Amino acid sequence: MSSIEQRPRRRAPWVFAALAALLAFLPLVAGPYPQTIARSVLTYMMLAISWDMLIRSGQLSFGIAGFFGLGGYAAAIGATYLGVPPVLTLVFAAVVVGVVALLIGAVVLRLRGMYFAIVTLALAEIFRIVMHNWSSLTGGPNGMLLPRSAFDGNSVATYLMMLVLAAVVIGVSEWFRHSRIHFALTAIRDNETVAASAGVNIYAYLLTAFAITSGIQGAVGASYAQLFGFVTPESSFNVNYTLIPLAMTLLGGMYGTWGPVVGAVLLGVVGEYLKLFIPYGHLLVYGVIIVLVILFMPRGIVGLVRGHLERSRRTTTASEKGGAA
Amino acid sequence: MKGLQTEALTIRFGGLTAVDGVDFSLTPGEIVGIIGPNGAGKTTLINLLAGIYAPTSGRVVFDGEDITAVPAHRRAALGIGRTFQLIHPLEDLTLVENVMTGFLFAGRRSLRAAREAAAALCRDLGLGGLNRSTGELNILETKKMEIAKALAVEPSVLFLDEVMAGLNSTETLDVIRMVREIAAHRNLGIGVVEHVMGVIKELTERVVVLDGGRLIAAGPYSEVSQDPRVVSAYLGGSV
């Protein structure tokens, strides 16, 4: 096979690795406040990436906050009743939430489009109501205190823990992008009948993607529980954990790892500064940004940059051809 | 028995019987025309054979096994390929990636092997510029890509649903030549749905005629085209 037909070698993994290494040294130069912002940006970034991974199959989920909150509770319950060590609660929550998503997905992944989206929204609310009312297990509306938090709340160590988790999530997202899963999910998004006729087992791939992305959201929820040392129904299932990652992905661009990363960094940092001037005003700004992006930049920042690069590449090749002729 | 057979295949959508008691067969090595006026049930028949629809009654048998309950993605893996009447490129994938999907999933090949197989298949069909997006293809290239996608499941029976529609006469001749070569070299059974009777006459050894979901005639084109029932189905009026 000629080398012309091969895709260009990817630089992305190296750029990611270099960035992660650089970010690991952030605590040496930045104080606790920037570290707090960084932890919050990483949290939303991971949620944004996981949401994007599912939308690559065309399935719109509004259930991020549900699986995130469930993950927090899985961590608290695992630590309290089963003695799961703090850091391992992230893995524990990922598995518990992944299995829950597998069972629920087996039923709800027969739905499509708006119906699927609404059911995921309802699921998040059901999880919250169950945790709110199952007082004997979850402490009801008062929530639960974790017996011990990861690294006893050491801010540098927890920051590094978040960084490692984010690296894992980015790795999983890149695996989705560059394995057969990418072809299955993209084919399903473009046309399910064509996908099935090419041999794609639609149900199996959707179920896998749903379980993995929900598992990620569960692990992120557990890390949040570790950062704050407690979970409550109102804070853990807050609808912001659905809306903010969604806005970040739209701004950055869907169907790839870079989009959610760029969107999370931009909105996360900008939002944090806006909070200083107008409390809760950042949410207003998020709303305006979503509307503007959908109207004028439907492929997001990364899509916009890609489009420009494509076009300049094409005009160069065209002019080269013209010069040769 | 090799190939695809149906027994009294029927599907109803509410009050409409779109395919009504059809007995159809297609064996490797033959090219069969499937003709009939608009709404006769030709595409519905293909969707039943490919597993997109489940029949209301009747059976589908493939290589001697009952596959009536087998889902579409497994039928693709078994070796039933089809193109779509309305072309459906996977527009977020490039030309070669569109063709790869069949090799990847129906053929269970690795990414690298699937890409190589797809590139080789595209070359065979005269398709270049493999990394182009599907939006950059002209109509003939799009049709060829659709055929390549269907061939990528490595079928033993293949259904071409109006692949010539929208092509000019030179392009039509090009595709006819291609279909002949495919049939000759790959020992496929090919079912051709086409409205241009010249193409049917040129390509097929026998045809089946559907009208209102029923199979009303079968045989060589020269005979069937003289059949008064067929003439009446196309032109209207009583026999």
Does A8 contact B at CB distance below 8 Å? no
Calpha distance A221→A223 (Å, rounded): 5
Give me the percent of chain A exceeding a pLDDT of 70: 93
Domain range for residue A157? 11-239
* From A87-101, A134-148, A208-222, the region with the lowest mean pLDDT: A134-148
> Is the residue at A202 inside a domain?
yes
* From A71-75, A91-95, A154-158, A253-257, the region with the lowest mean pLDDT: A154-158
- A123: Cβ–Cβ under 8 A, 6 or more apart, which residues? A63, A66, A104, A108
Q: Which residue of A has its CA nearest to B46?
A: A197
Does A276 contact B at CB distance below 8 Å? no
Task: Find which of B44, B47, B92 to mutate to test the A interface (most A CBs within 10 Å of its CB).
Answer: B92
**Residues A40-45, mean pLDDT to the nearest whole number:** 96
Contacts of B146 in chain A (CB under 8 A): none
Alpha helices in B54-94 (DSSP H): 72-78
**Residues A110-119, mean pLDDT to the nearest whole number:** 95
Q: Which residue of A has its CA nearest to B151?
A: A198
> Is the residue at A284 inside a domain?
no
Nearest chain B CA: its distance from A255 CA (Å): 10
Task: Give the confidence band of B237 by pLDDT, cuts at 50, 70, 90.
Answer: low
Give me the percent of chain B exceeding a pLDDT of 90: 82
The string of pLDDT tens digits covering residues B88-98 is: 889 999 999 99
Give pLDDT, residue A2: 42
CB B37, CB B211: distance < 8 Å: yes
Q: Which residue of A has its CA nearest to B158?
A: A197
Give pLDDT, residue A12: 66
Give pLDDT, residue B188: 93
Give pLDDT, residue A324: 42
Phi-psi region of B3 (alpha: psi -120 to 50; beta: other; left: phi over 0): left
Give pLDDT, residue A325: 36
Does B118 contact A at CB distance below 8 Å? no
**Residues B41-47, mean pLDDT to the nearest whole number:** 96
Residue A319 has pLDDT above 70, yes or no: no
**Residues B163-175, mean pLDDT to the nearest whole number:** 92
Does A318 contact B at CB distance below 8 Å? no
**Residues A119-125, mean pLDDT to the nearest whole number:** 96
Mean pLDDT of chain A: 89
Does B105 contact A at CB distance below 8 Å? yes
Query: DSSP letters along A238-295, please?
Result: -THHHHHHHHHHHHH-SSSSHHHHHHHHHHHHHHHHHHHHSTTHHHHHHHHHHHHHHH
Does A114 contact B at CB distance below 8 Å? no
**Residues A103-112, mean pLDDT to the nearest whole number:** 96
Nearest chain B CA: its distance from A81 CA (Å): 44
- A127: Cβ–Cβ under 8 A, 6 or more apart, which residues? A66, A67, A69, A70, A237
Task: Find which of B47, B90, B98, B127 to mutate to test the A interface (most A CBs within 10 Å of its CB).
Answer: B90
Residue A16 has pLDDT above 80, yes or no: no
Task: Give the confidence band of A6 by pLDDT, cuts at 50, 70, 90.
Answer: very low
Q: Which residue of B has its CA nearest to A314?
A: B132
Residue A148 has pLDDT above 60, yes or no: yes
Residues A194, B119: C-beta atoms closer than 8 Å: no
Give pLDDT, residue A15: 76
* From A125-129, B108-112, B193-197, the region with the lowest mean pLDDT: B193-197
| Nearest CB to B90; choose among A1, A186, A201 | A186
The string of pLDDT tens digits covering residues B188-235 is: 999 999 988 889 998 999 999 999 999 999 999 989 988 888 888 887
Phi-psi region of B58 (alpha: psi -120 to 50; beta: other; left: phi over 0): left
Does A197 contact B at CB distance below 8 Å? yes
Task: Give the confidence band of B176 by pLDDT, cuts at 50, 70, 90.
Answer: very high
* From A236-245, A314-323, B31-40, the region with the lowest mean pLDDT: A314-323
Calpha distance A197→B106 (Å, rounded): 9
Does B101 contact A at CB distance below 8 Å? yes
Give me the percent of chain A exceeding a pLDDT of 90: 67
CA dihedral A293, A253, B103, B74 (to 10 degrees): -70
Give pLDDT, residue A323: 44
Calpha distance A215→A210 (Å, rounded): 8
**Residues B63-80, mean pLDDT to the nearest whole number:** 96
| Nearest CB to B90; choose among A1, A190, A201 | A190
Residues B105, A5: C-beta atoms closer than 8 Å: no
Nearest chain A CA: its distance from B105 CA (Å): 5
Residue A86 has pLDDT above 90, yes or no: yes
| Nearest CB to A198; choose among B92, B105, B130 | B105
**Residues A292-298, mean pLDDT to the nearest whole number:** 86
Task: Give the confidence band of B57 by pLDDT, cuts at 50, 70, 90.
Answer: very high
Buried b (16+ CB within 10 A) or exposed e, B123-142: eebebeebeeebeebeebbb
Does B44 contact A at CB distance below 8 Å? no
Give pLDDT, residue A274: 82
Calpha distance A286→A243 (Å, rounded): 9
- Total number of domains in chain A: 1
Nearest chain B CA: its distance from A291 CA (Å): 24
Local structure of residue B109 (DSSP, 8 states): -
More confident residue, A4 or B21: B21
Strand partners, A22: none
Q: Which residue of B has its CA nearest to A1?
A: B116
Residues A199, B116: C-beta atoms closer than 8 Å: no
More confident residue, B143 or A2: B143
Strand partners, B11: B19
Residues A199, B92: C-beta atoms closer than 8 Å: no
More confident residue, A186 or A306: A186
Residue B48 has pLDDT above 60, yes or no: yes
Strand partners, B226: none
The CATH homologous superfamily for domain B4-235 is: P-loop containing nucleotide triphosphate hydrolases (3.40.50.300)
Residues B111, A7: C-beta atoms closer than 8 Å: no
Instruction: Compute how many other C-beta atoms are within 10 angstroms of the C-beta atom of residue B96.
Output: 23
Task: Give the confidence band of A317 by pLDDT, cuts at 50, 70, 90.
Answer: low
